[in-house]
């Protein structure tokens, strides 16, 4: 009777391990891609809020005009200097000209008893890069990961900004039209 030396793995055992590893990779790679994409969208929102914070600071310092009641002003993000970061989107693409901006809206009201204007400045952000990654006009406190679209911004979805006339098509929020101060 012959004795076989059992020091290694059989071909069947090796194939089984390779198949199991392949199945695990098929599950892990899409999950990892989702994690990476969600992290980029979170970074996009964070960067948008940084632009808004800097625009707010610069407006309060007098670098941009704050709008009166029922009016709005637009600050192109090309004009905003962030302390950190590049002038590209988190997808490392350049912003499209006139399609990346912070909008300062005065949603205040007139006090019924005193007749005084009570300013309430609300900040909105819209931006799209050259690969159509971006976010449509969204209020600062409502901005979430799901608002960011990867290569999903269609032409005309974001109003074009023009320094002379403001946003193409004007600005209406909650049925209330606002006038550009430009």
Q: Is residue 3 part of a domain?
A: no
**Count of domains forming the chain:** 1
pLDDT of residue 174: 84
CA distances to 2, 54, 109 from 164, rounded to whole Å, are: 94, 23, 26
Q: Is residue 140 part of a domain?
A: yes
pTM above 0.85, yes or no: no
pLDDT digits (tens, 9 = 90+) for 80-98: 988 776 788 999 999 998 9
Structure tokens at 131: 């690969």
Q: Could you tell me if residue 56 is inside a domain?
A: yes
Look at residue 32 and tell me if it is in a domain.
yes
Per the structure, the complete domain to which residue 166 belongs is given by 27-180
Determine, yes or no, domain membership for 35: yes
Domain membership of residue 8 (yes or no) is no
6-65, pLDDT tens digit by residue? 678 888 989 999 999 999 999 888 889 889 999 999 999 999 999 999 999 999 999 999
* Within-domain flag for 39: yes
**With 80 as the cut, is the pLDDT of residue 122 above it?**
yes
Residue 9 lies in a domain: no
* CA dist 45 → 8, 105, 179 (Å): 54, 19, 27
């Amino acid at each position: 009777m012959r004795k076989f030396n059992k020091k290694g793995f059989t071909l069947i055992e090796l194939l089984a391990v390779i198949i199991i590893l392949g199945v695990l990779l098929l599950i892990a790679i899409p999950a990892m891609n989702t994690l990476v994409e969600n992290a980029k969208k979170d970074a996009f929102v964070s960067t948008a809020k940084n632009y808004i914070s800097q625009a707010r600071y610069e407006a309060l310092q007098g670098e941009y005009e704050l709008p009166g009641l029922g009016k709005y002003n637009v600050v192109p993000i090309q004009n905003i200097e962030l302390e950190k970061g590049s002038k590209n989107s988190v997808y490392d693409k350049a912003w499209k000209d006139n399609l990346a901006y912070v909008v300062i809206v005065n949603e205040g009201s007139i006090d019924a008893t005193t007749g005084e204007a009570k300013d309430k400045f609300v900040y909105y952000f819209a931006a799209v890069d050259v690969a159509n990654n971006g976010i449509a006009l969204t209020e600062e406190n409502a901005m979430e990961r799901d608002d960011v679209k990867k290569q999903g911004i269609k032409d005309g979805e974001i109003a074009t900004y023009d320094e002379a006339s403001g946003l193409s098509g004007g600005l209406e929020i909650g049925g209330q039209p606002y006038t550009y101060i430009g």
